Amino acid sequence: MQFLKNFRPELIIESPGRINLIGEHTDYNLGYVLPTAIEKHITFSFQKNGSISDCNFFSKGWDVGFKADLKELSRSSVTWENYVLGVLFEITKRTNKLRGFNCVLESNLPQGSGLSSSAALECGLAFGLNELFALGLSKMDIVKLSQTAEHTYVGTQCGIMDQFASVMSETGHGILLDCRSLSYDLIPLVLAPYKIILLNTGVSHDLATSEYNVRKFECEEGVSIIKQTYPQIHSLREVTPEMLIANKHKMREVVYRRCSFILQENKRVLQMADALKKYDFKAAGNLLYEAHTGISELYEVSCKESDFLVDFSKGYTAVLGARQTGGGFGGCTLHLVHQEAVSQFITEATHEYRKQFGIQLTAFEVSPSKGTSISFVGQ
Ligand code: ADP
Ligand code: MG
């Protein structure tokens, strides 16, 4: 791309991926989640280019780029461009201060692996443009417009967790977020002698967008049925187990299972926060295992590869718990592993996984990290 020849960054932003300790698919049901940002991130380098509306993008590593005109924004047939275009569109709806710029991005964050590279992409871009053009957007504006961009331009009806975690996280902490009120507590994640290990199944969640939206509709179907008896109900967040059971006979069996999972998962998030505050890692681990069973059997967003790795963990006393993290159908599994057993566990998991599926596992430790931030400002 032409613009790369004279590219001198004025501003560099790092936007992280995230893990979710627990609380899967609860965000769009206005429940609780407990995510944190991780060290792996997308780096954005920005430069104003003096034009009124010409924007140039280049993704290093992917070796692809494209141009956008702020005056003529519309959806693209190329998926990744829509994350970018959606953010530009949402910003231009809120302010007229945006002008032409060049942007190069580079990532060490695996994509389609449940670590929310999509939110890192949206939020890093929005955060950077806010700085570069002094747009006056708050962090919450950035979170919300990035979520809306994913709805309107990409077509995933995602909740708010991923963008919230990518922007608002703080080093060493998890965020216990109430997705109804958007109030949150920072929970110190002091896990020693345990470590959070991620195993990347190498299975990318191609099904995710369509199946994700199906899950959302199934939950809405449940709410609309319960609402007939309890008109005060607006989301699964307000539904008690008694209300759900009282309406079971009116629901498709699959809808009942989806709703049961969400009710149980919300409860588990609060139990997890308590367990972590008390350093009760055994209880925390059990909650991870329970959550995975729900993900696999009730919500049906797991896959045989994730199930295998979670089951494999159960053979190790040094692994207190495990579950698939992220929207589902593959991506990464998260394991709470005693520090002395980490390398043996990884070696054996890698070996068994290759034997079973012929796939090379990638494993890495994560520690709770800060949200989207500036790493360089030029003169
Ligand atoms: P996840 O958010 O779990 O990584 P998604 O399917 O939601 O998975 O988002 C992945 C998509 O985000 C990729 O398919 C791509 O379109 C976009 N994306 C992520 N990182 C980059 C990057 N470095 N360059 C270009 N596009 C990216
Ligand atoms: Mg995503």
Q: Tens of pLDDT along 146-168?
A: 999 999 999 988 999 999 999 99
pLDDT at 192 > cutoff 80: yes
* Res 21: pLDDT: 98
Residues 11-21 pLDDT 10s: 999 999 999 99
CA of residue 117 to ligand 1 center, whole Å: 5
Instruction: Residue 84: give its domain's CATH number.
Output: 3.30.230.10
Check pLDDT > 80 for residue 76. yes
Q: Mean pLDDT throughout 200-210?
A: 78
CA dist 177 and 272 (Å) reads 13
Residues 82 and 107 in one domain: yes
Residue with tokens 């187990």: 241
Same domain, 282 and 178: no
Rounded to the nearest integer, the mean pLDDT of the chain is 96
The predicted pLDDT at position 258 comes to 98
3-state secondary structure the chain: CHHHHHCCCCEEEEEEEEEECCCCCCHHHCCEECEEEEEEEEEEEEEECCCCCEEEEEECCCCEEEEEEHHHCCCCCCHHHHHHHHHHHHHHHHCCCCCCEEEEEEECCCCCCCCCHHHHHHHHHHHHHHHHCCCCCCHHHHHHHHHHHHHHHHCCCCCCHHHHHHHHCCCCEEEEEECCCCCEEEEECCCCCEEEEEEECCCCCCCHHHHHHHHHHHHHHHHHHHHHHCCCCCCHHHCCHHHHHHCHHHCCHHHHHHHHHHHHHHHHHHHHHHHHHCCCHHHHHHHHHHHHHHHHHHCCCCCHHHHHHHHHHCCCCCEEEEEEECCCCCCEEEEEEEHHHHHHHHHHHHHHHHHHHCCCCEEEEECCECCCEEEEECC
Q: Is 114 in the pocket of ligand 1 (CB under 6 A)?
A: yes
pLDDT digits (tens, 9 = 90+) for 85-136: 999 999 999 999 999 999 999 999 999 899 999 999 999 999 999 999 999 9
Number of domains the chain contains: 2
Residue 207 has pLDDT above 60, yes or no: no
Q: Given pLDDT bands bounded at 50, 70 and 90, which one contains residue 206?
A: low
For residues 218 and 320, state if they share a domain.
yes
In the reported structure, the alpha carbon of residue 63 is separated from the centroid of ligand 2 by a whole-number distance in angstroms of: 21
Check if 80 has its Cβ closer than 6 Å to any atom of ligand 1.
yes
Residues 361 and 239 grouped into a single domain: yes
Using CA atoms, how far apart are residues 343 and 123, in angstroms rounded to an integer?
34
Residue 204: which pLDDT band, with cuts at 50, 70 and 90?
Answer: confident
Task: Indicate the pLDDT class of residue 236, thresholds 50, 70 and 90.
Answer: very high
For residue 208, pLDDT over 80 is answered with no
Atom of ligand 1 nearest to the CA of 331: 3
Ligand 1 atom closest to the CA of 209, numbered from 1: 6
Residue 224 and residue 141 share a domain: no
Sheet with 184-188: list strands edge to edge.
32-33, 173-178, 184-188
Q: Which atom of ligand 1 is nearest to the CA of 208?
A: 6
pLDDT computed for residue 68 by the predictor = 98
Ranking 209-223, 269-283, 297-311 by mean pLDDT, the lowest is: 209-223
Please give the share of the chain, as a percent, with pLDDT higher than 70: 99
Q: Is the Cβ atom of 322 under 6 angstroms away from ligand 1? A: no
Mean of pLDDT values over 327-339? 95
Backbone angles phi, psi at 362, to 5 degrees: -110, 140
- One domain for residues 43 and 143: yes
State yes or no: pLDDT of 366 exceeds 80.
yes
Range(s) of the domain holding residue 106: 2-188+369-377
Q: Looking at 20-34, 188-202, 203-217, 291-305, which range is the least confident one?
A: 203-217
Confidence (pLDDT) at 316: 97
pTM: 0.96
The 3-state secondary structure of 233-256 reads CCCHHHCCHHHHHHCHHHCCHHHH
- 10 C-beta neighbours (distance < 10 Å), count: 17
Residue 314: pLDDT above 60? yes
Are residues 90 and 149 both part of a single domain? yes
Q: Which residue out of 20, 76, 80 has the highest number of ligand 1 atoms within 8 Å of its CB and is therefore the one to mutate?
A: 80
Same domain for 246 and 112:
no
**Rounded distance, CA 74 to CA 292, Å?**
39
Q: Report the percentage of the chain scoring pLDDT > 90.
A: 93
